[in-house]
Amino acid sequence: QNPPALALTQQELDAVYEIGFERAQHPFYEELGPVKALETIRFSLATHRGCYGECNFCSIAVHQG
């Protein structure tokens, strides 16, 4: 297992959140059809950075990074 990454600085974290997310599927998946969960998160918004729960059953990170 890899060691944890170093924490981002405040400026680096701000830069990540300034990225314009498309909320669209990657062209790689177009032949396979729509990504089913994409409609679920289409109108979601980030209310805070990260998740305090660290649940082992949650797949939100798969959809929202």
Whole-prediction pTM value?
0.38
| Amino acid letter, residue 42 | R
Determine the pLDDT at residue 48. 67
Instruction: Residue 14: name the closest of 51, 46, 43 by CA.
Output: 46
H-state helical runs in 10-59: 10-17, 38-41
Pairwise CA distance, residues 42 & 50, whole Å: 19
CB 23 within 8 A of CB 38: yes
Alpha carbons 33 and 28: distance in angstroms, whole number: 10
pLDDT tens for 31-48 read 888 877 777 777 777 676
pLDDT tens, the chain, 65 aa long: 888 889 889 999 888 878 777 777 778 888 888 877 777 777 777 676 666 666 666 666 666 65
